[in-house]
Amino acid sequence: MSPTRLLAIARKELLQLRRDTRSLILAFLLPVLLLVLFGYAISWDVRNIRTAVLDGDRSARSRELIDAFRASGYFTFVDNLERPDEIGNLFDRGTVQVALVIPAGFAADLSAGRTASVQAIVDGSDANTATIVLAYSEAIVRTWSSRVQLQGATARGLPITAESRVWYNEELASRNMIVPGLVAVIMMIIAAMLTSLTIAREWERGTMEQLAATPVSRVEVVLGKLLPYLGIGLADVVVCSVLGVVLFDVPFRGSAVLLMAFSFLFLTGALGLGMFISVVAKSQVVATQVAMVVTFLPAFLLSGFMFAIEVMPAPLRAVSLLIPARYFLVVTRGIFLKGIGIEVLRTQALLMVAFAVAGLGLAVLRFRKELG
């Protein structure tokens, strides 16, 4: 292996990349775009729940309860209803997410010491939002109810209390969960989008013959083609981390050097995998589609990036064990949020080395310069 030839290939690839504006846009704009989207636009934090009220009691008490909902800040009241059958129509059109029904006789029941009931009817089609809406409603009604009870009776002895503390992500913001994960996803995108095309493109354009006519060895081709993307990938890690910390206040509690070292290993494996796909697929259309299914999609779905692995069915949990991004995600989140060091991440370190070796090995072994 000659370093000169290797660098020559790397330079050729870099020149080609520099002329290719759209790949560069993808490589540098996409991370920013994703960060902005995840940081500003989308989250699971449920707010502004569109609420309709059917107040059949119209008493001071019922208004108090409604005010308690309003004061929580989670509910936005959009409609006052007269009859229960209006709810169906509102749900159908999606203008209302939850309907609060206070029956006539609510205040009377309360002052007589009977149990008064309130109904929350939620549009269950978005099950996740619905679960959270119901949990919020229940908490509000429970708190309000105990206040009513305390107004009447004297305070009793020590009740059992739950004292919750959340670590690592104290305000439970979804961006703190997403941004460290994005580092992994973006690397997979670069591997899938950029490298999966590099060799298929040479085949399709017929330039592979020219490459074959040169004295470069296959290790030199694979490594040389890999180098520029490795640089881009590592630059993206830095961009993503800095923007995440500066713009979105994501905590960074661990070691930056450790993050870069892990990123280097993971990226090497991912790029090797992308190149392997490129070698096998030979046509750009097929390479892109295969790369999507093999690299990007699992990193997005099965790595725990957004969806918890614990709740997946057993076969899918088994598949997720084979997804390198899953282990890398433990690393990025651990370094960003938990501030853990190499002593905790030893297993992950071994796995990343294995992934890097396997990715590179596959690409080099499968790559043939011979034509047709």
Partner 1 sequence: MNPKRVFEMVRKEFRQIFRDPRLRGVIFVAPMIQLLAFGYAVSTDVRNVATLVVDHDRSRASREMVEAFTASGYFRVLGYAERPADIVRALDHGDAVLGIVIPPGFERGENSRVQLLFDGTNSNLANVARGYAERIVLSQANLPPPQVDLRSRAWFNPALESRDYNVPAVIGALLMLICLLLTSLAVVREREMGTLEQLLVSPLRPGELILGKSLPFALIGLVDMGLVVMVALLWFRIPFRGNPLLLILGTVLFLFSALGLGLLISSISNTQQEAFMSAFLVFLPAILLSGFMFPVSSMPRGFQALTLLNPLRHYLEIVRALFLKGAGVEALWMQLLALLGMGIGLLWLASRRFRDD
Closest CA to 326 of 188, 124, 210: 188
Q: Applying CB under 8 A, does 123 fall inside the site for partner 1?
A: yes
Q: Applying CB under 8 A, does 340 fall inside the site for partner 1?
A: yes
Q: Applying CB under 8 A, does 283 fall inside the site for partner 1?
A: yes
Give the side-chain half-sphere CA count within 13 A for 64: 12
Rounded to an integer, what distance in angstroms lies between the CA atom of residue 94 and that of residue 181?
32
Which CB, 67 or 307, lies closer to partner 1? 307
Residues 3-22 touching partner 1, rule: CB under 8 A, are: 20, 22
Q: Which stretch binds partner 1 (CB under 8 A): 215-223, 255-263, 270-278, 327-335?
A: 327-335
Contact, 336 vs 358, CB < 8 A? no
Q: Applying CB under 8 A, does 267 fall inside the site for partner 1?
A: no
Q: Would you tell me the crossing angle of helices 346-366 and 324-333 to the nearest 10 degrees?
A: 140
Rounded to an integer, what distance in angstroms lies between the CA atom of residue 204 and that of residue 287?
12
Residues 84-113 touching partner 1, rule: CB under 8 A, are: 88, 91-94, 97, 110, 113
Residues 169-228 touching partner 1, rule: CB under 8 A, are: 169-170, 172-174, 176-177, 189, 193, 197, 201, 204
Which CB, 6 or 244, lies closer to partner 1? 244
Q: Which stretch binds partner 1 (CB under 8 A): 51-59, 207-215, 217-225, 326-334?
A: 326-334
Task: Give the CA distances from residue 328 to residues 167, 268, 324, 336, in Å, rounded to whole numbers and listed in that order.
Answer: 21, 13, 6, 12
Q: Applying CB under 8 A, does 337 fall inside the site for partner 1?
A: yes
**Could you tell me whether strands 49-55 and 75-80 are parallel, antiparallel, or unpaired per DSSP bridges?**
parallel
Task: Give the CA distances from residue 154 to residues 102, 150, 157, 347, in Å, rounded to whole numbers and listed in that order.
Answer: 27, 6, 10, 57
Q: Applying CB under 8 A, does 254 fall inside the site for partner 1?
A: no
DSSP-derived secondary structure letter, 81: -
Q: Which stretch binds partner 1 (CB under 8 A): 26-34, 207-215, 266-274, 361-369?
A: 26-34
Rounded to an integer, what distance in angstroms lies between the CA atom of residue 339 and that of residue 353?
21
We find the least distance from the C-beta atom of residue 296 to partner 1, in angstroms, to be 9
Q: Which stretch binds partner 1 (CB under 8 A): 142-150, 239-247, 268-276, 363-371?
A: 142-150
Give the side-chain half-sphere CA count within 13 A for 18: 7
Residues 34-63 touching partner 1, rule: CB under 8 A, are: 34, 37-38, 40-50
Q: Which stretch binds partner 1 (CB under 8 A): 217-225, 236-244, 267-275, 305-313?
A: 305-313
Residues 343-362 touching partner 1, rule: CB under 8 A, are: 344
Q: Applying CB under 8 A, does 298 fall inside the site for partner 1?
A: yes
The size of the chain, in residues, is: 372
